[in-house]
Amino acid sequence: MHKLRVFILTLLVSLSLSACGRADISETLESAGSTDTRPAAEATADTGAVTEAADTSAVTEAATDTSPAAEATTEVSGPSDADFISNLGKGLEARWALVHSDKYSEEILEDMSKKDYQKAYDLFVDAEYDVIGSIDSYHFKDEKIKALAETYMKGLDLQKKGVKFQGTSNYVKYGKTWDLGYSYRAVAAADLCKGYGLKVDKKYKTDLDELVKDSDSANTQIEKQEFAKGLQSSLSYTKDEKKSDDSTDCYKAVVENTTEASLDCLEINVKFLDESGEVLDKVTDYIYDLKPGEKAKSKIKYDRSSGEYASMKISAISY
């Protein structure tokens, strides 16, 4: 009986120690870290979400990359500042090659018909166009070069318009187109030559030097013609009631020279138009030797027998 009690006590102690050991092991595992007891699929989904977030961040960062390398890839390719200057030099060479050729010598030009004479000058202008091309095809980085390029092409465009006045007596329109166009070309070419390396072959150096030399007087010419052009909208005639009568309307206006150059001769042309735009009459007035800052009166008359006019159209040119 005594042996049986000892056996039972020994067995109970053993079972008790075994239970305590399992509890210690469980506590040890829990203290080692919070073990994720979720299903494997759920844990994997979280891992994918993290990866997806990382990928999205990378895409966003790439899309907003503003580094110089990224910006460089977005630059527009095509002819630029240096190409325009180089092509302008080649265009001038092509023009002067025709001008100095035996085919278009001064003697031959003088003997040409008006049609052939104008065709020759048209070829001179087109020789530049063919090399330079359209200014819209250039991608300028320097705003000053862009402005000079636009000025030069403006001059070339004016000379193209002025071809039809070559060999004619329409000196007003010739001055507003061909002559003024030369002035714009001279001013732009001078600045491009002095500051941006415009050059031509040595056999055309004299021609380029002459063009650059003319830039000083060309600046003055441009200022005068721009002033005259502005009179189209700024000049306003008022009726002089005291001098008008039943047959004639008299008008007067004040012209102020706002340029820094003296206006040797300012020609003002006025057309009287009816409601349909038909010219009923046209008159011309001249103002001479108008110094900078000075004012002068312009006086014109309208013959009422020409009919009832609806408006005036004013144009002017400075000589």
pLDDT digits (tens, 9 = 90+) for 105-148: 999 999 999 999 999 999 999 999 999 999 999 999 999 999 99
Greater confidence, 302 or 61? 302
Task: Give the separation between CA 266 and CA 290, rounded to whole angstroms.
Answer: 8
Q: Which residue has the tokens 């013959």?
A: 303
Residue 123 neighbours by CB distance under 10 Å: 16
pLDDT band at 5 (very low <50, low <70, confident <90, very high): low
pLDDT digit string, tens, across residues 22-46? 444 344 434 444 444 444 444 444 4
Same domain, 128 and 250: no
Q: How confident is the model at residue 76 (pLDDT cuts 50, 70, 90)?
A: low
Distance CA 16, CA 121 (A): 121
Whole-model pTM above 0.75? no
Give the angle subtended at the CA of 299 by the CAs of 293 and 300, to the nearest 5°.
140
Mean pLDDT on 177-194: 97
Question: Are 178 and 262 in the same domain?
Answer: no
> What whole-number distance in Å separates Cα of residue 79 and Cα of residue 184?
23
Q: Which of 185, 213, 241 is the last residue of a domain?
A: 213
In a domain, 289, yes or no: yes
Boundaries of domain holding 158: 81-213
196-206 pLDDT, tens digit each: 999 999 999 99
Within a 10 A sphere around the Cβ of 49, how many other Cβ atoms? 10
- pLDDT for the residue 72: 45
Domain end: 179, 213, 247, which one? 213
DSSP 11: H
Among the listed residues 314, 296, 305, the one whose alpha carbon sits nearest the alpha carbon of residue 253? 296
Who contacts 293 (Cβ-Cβ below 8 Å, separation ≥6)? 256, 257, 258
Residue 12 scores a pLDDT above 50: no
In a domain, residue 100? The reply is yes
Q: 253 and 304 share a domain? A: yes
**What value does the mean pLDDT take over residues 184-189?**
98
Please tell me whether residue 239 adopts helix, strand or coil conformation. Answer: strand
Instruction: Give the angle 255-260-266 at the CA atoms, nearest 5°.
Output: 40
